[in-house]
Amino acid sequence: TSDLPGPSPDQVQAHRGASAIAPENTLAAFRAAAEAGAKWVELDVALSADGVLVVIHDDRVDRTTSGTGSLGDLTHADLVTLDAGTWFDPRFAAERLPTLEQVIVTLGELGLSANVEIKQHAHHTSLDRLVDAVRSAIATRRPETRIMISSFDPDCLKAMAAKEPDLEMAMLWVQLPQDWQAQLAAIPAKTIHMHYKALSIGILEETRKHGIAVRVWTCNDPVQLLSFWDAGLAGVITDNPAIFLK
């Protein structure tokens, strides 16, 4: 019922867009997130061989497109020929791998904000080039489009924080490491995105004492998080935002 604790709309992020409903990290998935009432999407970014920042999770195109091969070997011209939807459902055959700039335009039209997860793949040999590609894409956003940056790679976040000190930086961990405070301070970051199965009330109490926000990924069952909202959980990243928003 409506008396159960739950997140506010601003606390729900659609993981790779509404990836339970439409193919992950495509414009269709971001539209589906907006249709579900989400205010935020999480998306993954990586560079093509010729330095174009595209929205895709893996370092290869095999799982989520009609193509094969590593992003490090494929140019943007190669990537736009690929079908990024049929693997999910043939009715999404028109979906392409979008660039972050294209996604930023669509998010503006949909009134969505974005958690941009920077992937650190083997072919990303220059951290500066990666970070600068993210910065130039997000610079094209509308004023009302909010952006946060997340990564499993603390060096990515450090490089980004040095150039964009006003953006929220979220450190991605499966579970909380012993030295979490020192690692966050070194970035600096005030947000943790951790796996929901590793969360505890104790972690929320301890992080809150230090002014650190915690969100969890990737949870598709609202019951799993019921006890955490009143304890200060800041948000959830989910494939199916509708089930957290009703």
Q: Work out which of 24, 83, 95, 117 binds Mg ion, going by CB under 5 A.
A: 117
d(CA 40, CA 146): 9
CA distances from 221 to 82, 122, 217, 245 (A): 33, 33, 11, 12
Number of residues that bind ligand G3P (CB under 6 A): 11
In sequence order, the 6+-apart residues with CB closer than 8 A to the CB of 99 are 52, 53, 54, 55, 76, 137
CB 176 within 8 A of CB 191: no
> Is 15 labeled as catalytic in the residue annotation?
yes
The residue range among 101-109, 117-125, 132-140, 154-162 that interacts with Mg ion, by the rule CB under 5 A, is 117-125
Q: Is 15 in the site for ligand G3P (CB under 6 A)?
A: yes
Q: Of 57, 76, 121, 195, which one is the catalytic site residue? A: 57
> By rule CB under 6 A, what string of x and - marks binding of each residue 178-217 to ligand G3P?
---------------x-----------------------x
Q: How far is CA 215 from the centre of its chain?
A: 12
Residue 24 near which of ligand G3P, Mg ion, none (CB within 5-8 Å, type-dependent): none
What gap in Å lies between CA 17 and CA 32, rounded to an integer?
A: 7
Q: Considering only the stretches 28-36, 39-47, 65-73, 135-143, report the one whose residues sit in contact with Mg ion under the rule CB under 5 A.
A: 39-47
Q: Which does 39 bind (CB under 5 to 8 A by kind): Mg ion, ligand G3P, none?
A: none
Nearer residue to Mg ion within complex by CB, 122 or 246 = 122
44 touches Mg ion (CB under 5 A): yes
Sole binder of ligand G3P in the list 42, 83, 101, 239 (CB under 6 A): 42
**101 lies in the site for Mg ion, by CB under 5 A:** no
When CB distances to ligand G3P are compared, the closest residue is 217
24 contacts ligand G3P (rule: CB under 6 A): no
Q: Binding residues for Mg ion, per CB under 5 A?
A: 44, 117
The set of catalytic residues is 15, 57
